[in-house]
Structure 1
């Protein structure tokens, strides 16, 4: 079971004793998705809304801590997942729909991830 939250990020490099050209570039950042039901599994609920970053400042700060460079822009691309992770996510959501203020699992998924879920073979999902 494997899944990653995928973001397009623009990073700024500013080393104290060097000059870089270019000093900013766009890249892909993958954050491993926590196993549904474990600590951190609600990342999508706290950080995403309708397939986009819910709070840009918070997400930039979170992603700046990850690669240890300044992230100046971040956009959510997708949750890349295998079928087993998707099934486990949906099962966990279904156990407490009231937490999400929704009538169905599909509504929760759409509210937070939009249509940005891509199910792939586990071997095709890079390790984050």
Structure 2
């Protein structure tokens, strides 16, 4: 479980960066190109976190709820950055903005569930 907590913390900081960068773009402080460059630079890190997260292994039955919440939050964190990977090369600006907004919302929902389940087992 320690590894999941560590990875969720790393993902949390990358989600915060995505949200801050999007806010700067939406308030016209930076261009879409700067947003794209800044977040593309972080895709490799979130992809690494995602791959480590999905390779943690199966949890005991008693921990299935927290395991499910962790897998969900790590997937949504990864999805935030998909427009900045090879998969997202064809995304339009509007699609990219929508993706960041919708996936960060889902990430926060999954994070709240993960933190709730974590408290139950501590």
TM-score (norm 1): 0.27
**Higher radius of gyration, 1 or 2:** 1
Q: Give the structure with the larger strand fraction.
A: 1
Q: Give the structure with the larger helix fraction.
A: 2
